[in-house]
Amino acid sequence: MQVGGTVAAAAWLAKAREAQAQPAGVQGPPGPAPGTTPGGSPAVVAPNGETLPWRLVGGVKVGHLVVGAFEHEFASGLRAECWGYNGRTPGPLLEATEGDRVRIYVTNRLPEPTTVHWHGMVIPAGMDGVSGLTQRPIPPGETYMYEFTLRHPGTYMYHSHHDEMIQLALGCVGMFVVHPRAPRGPRVDRDFALMLHEWKVTAGARRPDPLEMSDFNVLTFNGKSFPSTEPLRVGRGERVRIRLGNLSPMSHHPIHLHGLWFKVTATDGGPVPASAQRPETTTLVPVGSVRVLELVPEEPGDWAMHCHMTHHVMTQMGHGMPNMVGADTRALDARMARVAPSYMTMGTTGMGGMAQMGMPAPSNSAPMRGGAGPFSHIDMGGMFTVLQVREHPNTPDPHGWYEHPAGTVAGPADAERLRADGIDPAAGAPRR
């Protein structure tokens, strides 16, 4: 009976994934999600993720989450056994509409009990998923049923509420969007959901270390580190919503967007009144919180979007190394060369250039990794992605990157122009 159910669920999920892979009427990923919600907003896109398919049974939206272990790839060259929902972390995006009744089955394939808590949702207390307090934990191998009505639209999350330190650190997290039934506020053209997370993956280890408290070395948007993060593609002048959820074990993430200003229009506690929305370029997303941003980009380009904690955008770079910046290591290098001919002390001029040196690294690690950029190597990894603002967002870029109009890219200063402007690079800074 259980085997039959599992096979049916697997077939259903496979079919849903297939449908997800080729959304009708969309040219090139990512683009607007197929269809719109009853309130008229576009469906939410989860970059690098997927949306849980519902099955309508007697007017109830029925979904199935299978909690288990699986191999997850953070970026090419870096994999680990994570825990999550339906073979992914974060789990599939749950997306429904205000007033919907949902019935969510949770099958536990972990080696220990679990629960699912619906973070931020106001539902009957017995559905809140807190192990011991509101329900018995789900034993391994068993399936529990949660059922409630989505009374309040908003952006919420879901996560384990049993053995939280282990299960959240290993990836038992996801997002849950409830659209309003009638339009609220200005209609958005694009809607994205990104979950922020952090991990400690010791080089060569099979699993992330759930006991780490501070030295996280893999930082992710929707489970991926740059350059494996899928860009967010939008049109110039479009109204864009980005829903950020943070279920990292320990860190708050100040998320920064370049080239535009945004307002925080909602949290997981509901809409922020217009009078309390202030313009920002960075917003802190504390652990256990959602921040919903709305923006209208006016300047096309490839704009960086990243956590502004510098250690969170240089995955696995430099932790545990001595500080060599500015050190004169010529004598040391000469001595070391006697025993190791190719020896060179690293980090004396900073670490930005180390990303592209292709140094030998332990297997299953992503040290000193960034990504290829249109001008040179991008030395950031981790919690970094690109907001692609285009005049024609549904037309692919011929070279994969923004084509800058002539004369709008910073470059080497022209000697004649320097002279005309009275700038002498050999002199010190101008004095007043």
Point out which residues bind Cu ion (CB under 5 A). Answer: 253, 307, 309, 312
List all residues 6 or more positions away from 111 whose beta carbon is below 8 Å from its beta carbon. Answer: 69, 140
Which amino acid appears at position 48 of this protein? N
Token readout for 143 is 């399936």
Q: Distance between CA 94 and CA 52 in Å, rounded?
A: 6
Q: Closest distance between Cu ion and the C-beta of residue 371, in Å? A: 18
**Is residue 184 within 8 Å of 148, Cβ to Cβ?**
no
- Which contiguous run of DSSP H or E holds residue 18? helix 2-21
Q: Closest distance between Cu ion and the C-beta of residue 253, in Å? A: 3
C-alpha torsion sign, points 284, 280, 236, 408: negative
**Is residue 307 within 8 Å of 382, Cβ to Cβ?**
yes
Q: Closest distance between Cu ion and the C-beta of residue 381, in Å? A: 13
**Angle at 324 (CA atoms; ends 323, 328), nearest 5 degrees:** 150
Q: What does DSSP say about strands 384-390 and 232-235: parallel, antiparallel, or unpaired?
A: parallel
Q: Closest distance between Cu ion and the C-beta of residue 311, in Å? A: 8
Nearer to Cu ion, 290 or 307 (CB): 307
Nearer to Cu ion, 159 or 253 (CB): 253
The DSSP output letter for 405 is: P
Nearer to Cu ion, 64 or 253 (CB): 253
What would you measure as the largest C-alpha separation in the chain, in angstroms?
A: 84
Q: Distance between CA 399 and CA 227 in Å, rounded?
A: 17
Nearer to Cu ion, 214 or 342 (CB): 214
Q: Closest distance between Cu ion and the C-beta of residue 293, in Å? A: 16
Distance of CA 306 to the CA centre of its chain: 9
Q: Closest distance between Cu ion and the C-beta of residue 250, in Å? A: 11
Q: What are phi and psi of 152, to 5 degrees?
A: -125, 125
Q: Closest distance between Cu ion and the C-beta of residue 383, in Å? A: 5
Q: Closest distance between Cu ion and the C-beta of residue 138, in Å? A: 32
- By CB neighbour count within 10 A (0-12 exposed, 13-18 middle, 19+ buried), where does 410 fall? exposed
Q: Closest distance between Cu ion and the C-beta of residue 45, in Å? A: 22
- Per the document, the length of the chain is 432
Nearer to Cu ion, 197 or 241 (CB): 197
Q: Distance between CA 5 and CA 95 in Å, rounded?
A: 24
Nearer to Cu ion, 102 or 380 (CB): 380
Distance of CA 229 to the CA centre of its chain: 7
Nearer to Cu ion, 37 or 385 (CB): 385
Q: Closest distance between Cu ion and the C-beta of residue 307, in Å? A: 3
The DSSP output letter for 131 is: B
Nearer to Cu ion, 167 or 220 (CB): 220
**Is residue 201 within 8 Å of 208, Cβ to Cβ?**
yes
Distances (CA, A) of 166 to 131, 214, 235: 14, 15, 40
Token readout for 308 is 């502004």
Q: Distance between CA 199 and CA 341 in Å, rounded?
A: 36
Nearer to Cu ion, 65 or 378 (CB): 378
Nearer to Cu ion, 162 or 253 (CB): 253
Q: Closest distance between Cu ion and the C-beta of residue 170, in Å? A: 19
Nearer to Cu ion, 233 or 253 (CB): 253
**Is residue 97 within 8 Å of 63, Cβ to Cβ?**
no
